[in-house]
Structure 1
């Protein structure tokens, strides 16, 4: 029986009951930053402790569904500023992953540019004039797994420009999707995206001969993503 090419669920990735253990080759996690961005009626803002608790659940579920040689890529700002406090997400996520049994296999740096004022250079983040809820242009890609392995290196010196599309304030730029899949994906891989958004990554996974599983709690983005994946599945 042919495997299902894609599935997307309108629910939280804190509990991924639909996925079997050890079934995912590559997980790509672009988590919310918890700095008050609005996503079609949903606002990305809670206490820092609640945020870390939620991400801890997602990471534990990711570890459960990841194959023994599978990879989990997490994309994070170097720092965020929230209510006057600065948080270093790479360090915090490293601890969450370590507690879940995932080890850091590799990492890389890149820069992002966005249309709003919440994305600022690292050397400006702690300035008094910087918006209370903001994150650095400087980003880190952290690659986790359950064992050490030699990986293809992500391209160096990359810069990506995020623009609002399909109602989403910051969907993946197509260049970033290409670089991620060129580096970590091979045809036939099953890819998980814990925060699908409008599923630009999923569309490209299908075009490249892979399988896609996604979670998106926002009903508007879910419907856009579902339709996009259905079209991509028909044209593959």
Structure 2
């Protein structure tokens, strides 16, 4: 069980596998007014930066689930590095359909809503692990402006324009699911640049140290195309944010 190899390679040096930066996660934690010993479940936890830093800064407890063997290993190392290994645990597993045995005060899926077949399904999944009155966190892309063509949408990594909503439409969609939006923190352009551009040096270094690997052609093709694609499409059209929700 693992994610596609290209992500394990291109994001192997990332601590955060989305357009957030460390200060954005700190802002989000403060905005949620996290109390010590709050239990946080993170589905698609990546390298564990959100749970580990919140455990250090706000003394929460938590569990992260991720399909990447590499990222799960990195999360465990990060917990040890920050001295919070007794507060958080990271499990290598498929987050799709995962329901915690112990209810959480915060249940999050920050950038992996495919685990529930989209936003609505992921909210429904997270709700099964949440205390009454708890908070659900959804990290999701949105259109900064609607792409004029399907080709541009695909250049942004979407299958179609309809895959994402504009920010007003996304916020309104939570209302339609009978949830209150109680907080939101949005990524900025620097966060996008750091998330995307950091992959390029990682891929170049990998190519230099693995010249005989069978995957060289794939990584070379990705490194050649990604800077141009990102500059032309994602950087111009796609936003990203984390939305805090409470059921009505």
Where on the TM-score scale, by shorter chain, does this alignment land: which range? Answer: 0.3 to 0.5
Higher helix share: 2
Q: Which has the larger radius of gyration?
A: 2
The TM-score normalised by the length of structure 1 is 0.35
Which has a greater percent of strand? 1
The normalised TM-score by structure 2 is 0.34
Higher relative contact order, structure no. (Cα contacts within 8 Å, ≥ 6 residues apart): 1
